[in-house]
Structure 1
Amino acid sequence: MKLIECPRDAMQGIPNFIDTAIKAAYINQLAHVGFDTIDFGSFVSPKAIPQMRDTAEVLELLDLHDTESKLLAIVANVRGAEDALQFEEIDYLGFPLSISETFQKRNTNASITEALKTVEEIQNRCEVKGKALVTYLSMGFGNPYGDPYSPELVAEFVEKLDELGIKIISLSDTIGSASPALITELFEVQIPSFPHIEFGAHLHSRKEDVSAKVKAGVEAGCTRFDGALNGFGGCPMAKDDLVGNMATEQMIETLEGLGYDLGLNKAELQEAMKLTSFVFDQ
């Protein structure tokens, strides 16, 4: 079972700039907890996401010597990928590919067809550099724009990504609309159909729904979950402040209740929880 902690997603929508040193201190603390991967920053336009304009500077302040946690950075185009690939410390690049044409244009200023070409180019560059590309299928559980959506459409996107050699695909519920039944349905279909692909769940949720969504994913065979401590973050499109990222501490409680040993340092986790109020109360 892999937990991916996402301070980048938690921070990116905060309007007041969080000091670079504070970001780095928080990520360093997270690195001591024992998460499989930390989604720590993004190499995107500072005009689009001002909060992430210091990702390279944050990286310079990270102390990664005593941690096995890997680092993931989000990119939105080939230029961002090239910037991220310069850093040996980064293990994964993440790219948001949307099933919704409207959201793809809003998120990366490109059509789905153009975005798929970008995925192919980034995948090729990652292979040369020995990195892995995580492709997020955003709006993977539906969209609010009236764009076409169905589980069959999700399968078509997965097949296209498989043809490009993508090995990690994270189904993303950008607006917190996924029901446990739909979560189970998607993973029960995709995981057996593409056993060579690692499927993850990047879900947004109200806190009271986190446990049911995690259980739905686990029952369908998902072993990779993204979250953020205290459920910070979320998509501005949701227009609901209560729909943030999946609260990591709740996911931990649920997964341990199901019998999983996550290998986390609980003392370091408590220290990270204490830091959240300082980091996010800006």
Structure 2
Amino acid sequence: MNPIAKLFQSAKVFTWDFMLVLVNTFTPNLKSGEVVAQGHPGYKGKWPDYQPPKDGDSRCACPALNALANHGILPRDGKNISFKEMGRVVNESYNFAPSFCFFVPNYSANFMNKNYSKDTFDLAELSQHNAIEHDASLTREDTHFNADQSKPHIPFVEELLSYATGKDSEGRALLTADDIARYSAKRRADSQANNPEFSLETIHKFFSSSNNSTMLRIFGGRVDDLRTMLVEERIPEGWESVCQARKGLTMASFNRTAMTVEKATTKFLAKKD
């Protein structure tokens, strides 16, 4: 796609997203238990059987996508997935807005040099280094130390969850935006100090904070749910997205959270210097 066509496409997506923001503003939220629509996997918290990946299955650096394959909502082997299918399933399962669910798969198709409408991909292809995947992840070792991005690094996950300072109304542990930012700052500092190939350009910093913000905007920072998702890459029984907006989590809303997390991460990094 030439630069002019990309510009027009981006303008259309952001206009679409703005319209979804307006719909969310002026319409009631979805009811609890109905964030996943009737007839779709996960309706009223009933998720398909979980099966860990087998040898030869394809997985990536994204726990949420891996979980969809582990439950058979995406192909269990993680292979031959269309970009449209990925967007549709993420929308239906996690309640990201349709605009987001076009933008990310289309971006992925572009960095893979594939056709969004016609081609397929394996989940592992999403782990191309410094495309969306990046150094200083909260759940994976840097590719310099481990080229296999398909599995979580459990010590990182447990350390992240140990940073939780929040509590819900029933006293259960919650990660806050500052908790996530504080651990992200630690990961960036440690990675920069120990990884001779460390890189984290501005766009990857934003990807990092966007990925981290999913824990807040989709999972509500709930430590018990996050441990299941990040360690086992399994959707907890009875779970549904905390985002109940009728048209899902828009790019505009999500980006505000990501910018808040990135600003806090930068602040904590400055304190380390």
TM-score, normalization by structure 1: 0.28
State the structure with bigger RCO (CA 8 A, min sep 6), 1 or 2: 2
Q: Which has the higher helix share?
A: 2
Larger radius of gyration: 2
Q: Which has the higher strand share?
A: 1
TM-score, normalization by structure 2: 0.29
